[in-house]
A and B are shown apart, each in its own frame.
Chain A
Amino acid sequence: MDLSYTAEETAFRGEVRAFLKARLPYEIAEKVRRHVELSKADMERWHAILNENGWLAASWPKAYGGAEWTAVQVHIFDEEAAMAYAPRIVPFGIHMLGPVLIKFGTEQQKAEILPRILSGADWWCQGYSEPGAGSDLASLKTRAVREGDHYIVNGQKTWTTLGQHANRIFCLVRTSTDGKPQQGISFLLVDLDTPGIEMRPIRLIEGGHEVNEVFFTDVQVPCSNLVGEENQGWTIAKYLLTHERTNIAGVGHSNQALEQLKALAKTQRRNGQRLIDNPLFAARLAQIEIDLEAMKITNLRMLADAQKNGAPGPESSILKIKGTVIRQAINDLARRALGPAAAPFPSEDLDPNLTIAPRDHTNTAADYFNNRKISIYGGSNEIQKNILSKTVLEL
Chain B
Amino acid sequence: MQFEATEDRRMLADTLNRFLSTEYGMDVRNAAAYSAPYHAPEKWTQLCELGTLLALTSEEQGGFGGTGFDVTAVFEPLGRALCPEPALPALMAIRLLAAAGHDLEPAMSGTTTYAVAIGEMEVPYGLDGLSTTARPGGDGFRLTGRKSVVYGGHIADRVLVAAHREGSADDKPGVFAVNAKDITVSGYGLIDGGGAAELFLEDAPAELLLADGTAGLQDALDAGALALCAEAIGAMDVLFDMTLDYLKTRKQFGTPIGAFQALQHRMVDLKTEIEQARSITILAASRMGAPDQSRAVSMAKNLIGRTAQLVAEESIQLHGGIAMTWEYPGSHYAKRLVMIDHQFGDADYHLERVMAAHQVA
A and B interact: yes
- A202 CA to B331 CA, complexed, in Å: 13
Which chain B residue lies CB-closest to A207?
A: B326
Instruction: Check: B321 CB closer than 8 A to any chain A CB.
Output: yes
- A328 CA to B254 CA, complexed, in Å: 31
Determine which of A203, A278, A340, A351 lies in contact with B342 in the assembled complex, contact meaning CB atoms within 8 Å: A340
Instruction: Check: A269 CB closer than 8 A to any chain B CB.
Output: yes
- A375 CA to B318 CA, complexed, in Å: 10
The answer to whether A372 and B188 touch across the interface, beta carbons within 8 angstroms, is no
Instruction: Check: B123 CB closer than 8 A to any chain A CB.
Output: yes
Instruction: Check: B292 CB closer than 8 A to any chain A CB.
Output: no
- A271 CA to B149 CA, complexed, in Å: 16
- A34 CA to B192 CA, complexed, in Å: 20
The answer to whether A354 and B186 touch across the interface, beta carbons within 8 angstroms, is yes
- A332 CA to B338 CA, complexed, in Å: 10
With A343-B342, A345-B191, A349-B189 in contact, is A205–B325 under 8 Å at CB?
yes
Which chain B residue lies CB-closest to A210?
A: B324
The answer to whether A372 and B313 touch across the interface, beta carbons within 8 angstroms, is yes
Interchain nearest-CB distance for B264 vs A (Å):
12
- A347 CA to B326 CA, complexed, in Å: 15
Interface of A is mostly: mixed
Which chain B residue lies CB-closest to A340?
A: B149
Instruction: Check: A366 CB closer than 8 A to any chain B CB.
Output: yes
Instruction: Check: A87 CB closer than 8 A to any chain B CB.
Output: no
The answer to whether A344 and B149 touch across the interface, beta carbons within 8 angstroms, is yes
Determine which of A284, A336, A354, A376 lies in contact with B188 in the assembled complex, contact meaning CB atoms within 8 Å: A354
Which chain B residue lies CB-closest to A344?
A: B188
Instruction: Check: B125 CB closer than 8 A to any chain A CB.
Output: yes
Number of interface residues of A (CB under 8 A): 55
Task: Please report which residues of chain A, range 314-352, place their CB below 8 angstroms from some CB of chain B when the two chains form the complex.
Answer: 328, 332, 335-336, 338-347, 349-351
Task: Please report which residues of chain B, range 303-349, place their CB below 8 angstroms from some CB of chain A when the two chains form the complex.
Answer: 309, 313, 316-317, 320-321, 323-327, 331, 334-335, 338-339, 341-343, 346, 348
What residues of A have a CB within 8 angstroms of the CB of B124 in the complex? 270, 339-341
Interface of B is mostly: mixed
Task: Please report which residues of chain A, range 266-305, place their CB below 8 angstroms from some CB of chain B when the two chains form the complex.
Answer: 269-272, 278, 280-281, 284
- A125 CA to B324 CA, complexed, in Å: 19
- A350 CA to B128 CA, complexed, in Å: 29
- A376 CA to B348 CA, complexed, in Å: 28
Which chain A residue lies CB-closest to B345?
A: A339
Interchain nearest-CB distance for A395 vs B (Å):
12
Instruction: Check: B196 CB closer than 8 A to any chain A CB.
Output: yes
- A328 CA to B34 CA, complexed, in Å: 25
The answer to whether B351 and A280 touch across the interface, beta carbons within 8 angstroms, is yes
Instruction: Check: A255 CB closer than 8 A to any chain B CB.
Output: no
What residues of B have a CB within 8 angstroms of the CB of A206 in the complex? 191
What residues of B have a CB within 8 angstroms of the CB of A256 in the complex? none
Q: Which residues of B contact A (CB under 8 A)?
A: 34, 36, 119, 121-126, 128-129, 148-149, 186, 188-192, 196, 198, 251-254, 260, 262-263, 309, 313, 316-317, 320-321, 323-327, 331, 334-335, 338-339, 341-343, 346, 348, 351-352
